[in-house]
């Protein structure tokens, strides 16, 4: 395993860090102000103008669509390991930086799916505008009435009727569907209910304005209203052409795994970036405040938090880089155990560090004056997103035990 940055990645990392320092961090207050104005105007999911301004600046510097490992475009084509370092940098400003460089979830995963499995016509219709940053998309998999952590439970039906598929069901936590720019839903449901468990599901491309699609409501996260939204979406006799099938029929489960593997790397490296920022804020706050006659940073408990945070971040980063390297060398299926491990370890690590940073800030840590409260909400949610901790722990245990049973 070799984690030394290539010359190409080093150049991107330096450019991205400079962009963060010069453009992104100063724009955070502007973003919050513009969001408050949009909320007051009854547009909680409206896009603050500063985001598009950042996108223009990022694209002019070549900081655009850096995540596509399978692309032959010279502006893309970074390996998963190479992109991991860049994802960590964007994690320092999770609301702004990923979208500014067109590397925000769920679009990254959706674009990877389209890049790997879409037909030429589907790519022209959906992948090109997504890569261009003109539209947004959402991934509709999770359902409110079943335990969706076991994808075999999904009940949404996708029934072939002549030249169409007819979709019926309800999804929720469809991230991005509230965004006014969202035009595409990638919907996972059952096309083959009598097949083997892992061959019952398929994915279809559904324009969000298709008759029968209803965005029911937005779901808050610890009371936070996400700009892109997390929607409950109902599908009632929704008809799309059979040509809207993504990949082979019955291969939805395999497509989901291909999508979620690299996506978990992205999530975890951004989480490490969030942990780094929380640690930085904790140190600065501890230096600036005095308790019981000496700076807070000289208190033993604070020093223990700081030291343990550094240890935990370094361990987590190496674990993620190993998982990324394995995806690059043996594929997501071969890296299954490592991907599961980072999905458990990294959010728990980041949650702990952010929690300590909040404690060090006192009341300021839980209000809007720092990014810590919203970061905590996002990180705690990440322990459920893309599979809860318990499912990944179960997978790791099974993979560890299996050789002893053969």
Tokens for 290, please give them. Answer: 């005095």
108 contacts: CB under 8 Å, gap ≥ 6: 67, 263, 266
Q: Are strands 213-218 and 201-207 parallel, antiparallel or unpaired?
A: unpaired
Helices 80-90/252-288 angle, 10° precision? 40
Maximum pairwise Cα distance, the chain = 79
Q: Which long-range contacts does 64-67 make (Cβ < 8 Å, 24+ apart)? A: 64/101, 64/102, 64/133, 65/101, 65/102, 65/103, 65/111, 65/131, 66/12, 66/101, 66/103, 67/103, 67/108, 67/111, 67/112, 67/262, 67/266
Tokens for 347, please give them. Answer: 């959010």
**50-91: per-residue pLDDT in tens?**
999 999 999 999 999 998 766 666 556 689 999 999 999 999
- In whole angstroms, what separates CA 354 from the centre of its chain? 18
Rounded to whole angstroms, the Cα distance separating 13 from 62 reads 12
- pTM listed for this prediction: 0.95
Check if CATH label 1.10.540.10 holds for domain 7-118: yes
Domain limits, the chain:
7-118, 136-246, 253-405
Tokens for 175, please give them. Answer: 């991230």
Kindly tell me the sign of the dihedral angle through the C-alpha atoms of 237, 238, 244, 248.
Answer: negative
CATH number for domain 253-405, candidates 3.40.50.300, 1.20.140.10, 3.50.50.60, 3.30.1330.60:
1.20.140.10
Question: 241: which strand partners?
Answer: 164
Rounded to whole angstroms, the Cα distance separating 238 from 171 reads 13
Q: pLDDT in tens for each of the 406 residues of the chain?
A: 888 899 989 999 999 999 999 999 999 999 999 999 999 999 999 999 999 999 999 999 999 999 876 666 655 668 999 999 999 999 999 999 999 999 999 999 999 999 999 999 999 999 999 999 999 999 999 999 999 888 889 999 999 999 999 999 999 999 999 999 999 999 999 999 999 989 999 999 999 999 999 999 999 999 999 999 999 999 999 999 999 999 999 999 999 988 888 889 999 999 999 999 999 999 999 999 999 999 999 999 999 999 999 999 999 999 999 999 999 999 988 999 999 999 999 999 999 999 999 999 999 999 999 999 999 999 999 999 999 999 999 999 999 999 999 7
pLDDT of residue 257: 86
Of 96, 7, 81, the C-alpha closest to 50 is: 96
Rounded to whole angstroms, the Cα distance separating 17 from 331 reads 29
Rounded to whole angstroms, the Cα distance separating 263 from 225 reads 23
Q: In this structure, what DSSP letter does residue 68 have?
A: -
Q: In this structure, what DSSP letter does residue 198 have?
A: G
- Cα 158 to Cα 185, 189, 202, 203, 225: the distances in Å are 14, 6, 8, 9, 31
The three state secondary structure string of 321-336 is HHHHHHHHHHHHHHCH
Tokens for 379, please give them. Answer: 């990180």
Of 328, 347, 330, the C-alpha closest to 386 is: 347
pLDDT of residue 69: 62
Tokens for 180, please give them. Answer: 């006014």
Q: Is 295 helix (H, G, I), strand (E, B) or coil?
A: strand
Identify the CATH homologous superfamily for domain 136-246.
Answer: Butyryl-CoA Dehydrogenase, subunit A, domain 2 (2.40.110.10)
Q: Is 39 helix (H, G, I), strand (E, B) or coil?
A: helix
Helices 80-90/300-334 angle, 10° precision? 150
Rounded to whole angstroms, the Cα distance separating 320 from 308 reads 18
pLDDT of residue 260: 83
DSSP result, 73-92 = STTS---HHHHHHHHHHHTT
Tokens for 164, please give them. Answer: 């169409």
């Amino acid at each position: 395993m070799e984690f030394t940055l290539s010359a190409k990645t080093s150049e991107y990392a330096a450019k991205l860090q400079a962009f963060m320092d010069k453009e992104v961090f100063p724009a955070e207050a502007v973003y919050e102000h513009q969001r408050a104005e949009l909320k007051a105007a009854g547009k909680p999911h409206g896009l603050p103008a500063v985001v598009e301004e950042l996108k223009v600046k990022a694209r002019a510097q070549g900081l655009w669509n850096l995540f596509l490992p399978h692309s032959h475009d010279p502006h893309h084509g970074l390996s998963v390991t190479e992109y991991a370092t860049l994802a960590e940098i964007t994690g320092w400003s999770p609301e702004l930086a990923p979208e500014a460089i067109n590397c925000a979830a769920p679009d990254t995963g959706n674009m990877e799916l389209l890049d790997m499995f879409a037909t030429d016509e589907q790519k022209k219709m959906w992948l090109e505008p997504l890569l261009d940053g003109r539209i947004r998309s959402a991934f509709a998999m999770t359902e409110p009435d079943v335990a969706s952590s076991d994808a075999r439970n999904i009940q949404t039906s996708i029934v072939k009727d002549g030249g169409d598929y007819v979709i019926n069901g309800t999804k929720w936590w469809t991230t991005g569907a509230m965004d006014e720019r969202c035009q595409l839903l990638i919907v996972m449901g059952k096309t083959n209910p009598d097949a083997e468990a892992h061959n019952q599901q398929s994915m279809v491309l559904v324009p969000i304005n298709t008759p029968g699609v209803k965005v029911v409501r937005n779901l808050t996260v610890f009371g936070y209203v996400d700009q892109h939204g997390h929607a409950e979406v109902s599908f009632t006799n929704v008809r799309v052409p059979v040509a809207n099938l993504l990949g082979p029929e019955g291969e939805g489960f395999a497509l989901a795994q291909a999508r979620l593997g690299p996506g978990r790397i992205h999530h975890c490296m951004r989480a490490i970036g969030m942990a780094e920022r929380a640690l930085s804020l904790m140190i600065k706050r501890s230096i600036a405040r005095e308790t019981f006659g000496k700076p807070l940073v000289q208190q033993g408990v604070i020093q223990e938090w700081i030291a343990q945070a550094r240890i935990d971040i370094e361990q987590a980063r190496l674990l993620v880089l190993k998982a990324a390297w394995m995806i690059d060398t043996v594929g997501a299926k071969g890296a299954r155990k490592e991907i599961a491990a980072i999905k458990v370890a990294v959010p728990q690590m980041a949650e702990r560090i952010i929690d300590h940073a909040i404690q060090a800030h006192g009341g300021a840590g839980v209000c809007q004056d720092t990014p810590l409260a919203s970061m905590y909400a996002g990180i705690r949610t990440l322990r459920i997103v893309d599979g809860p901790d318990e499912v990944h722990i179960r997978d790791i245990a099974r993979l560890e035990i299996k050789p002893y049973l053969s």
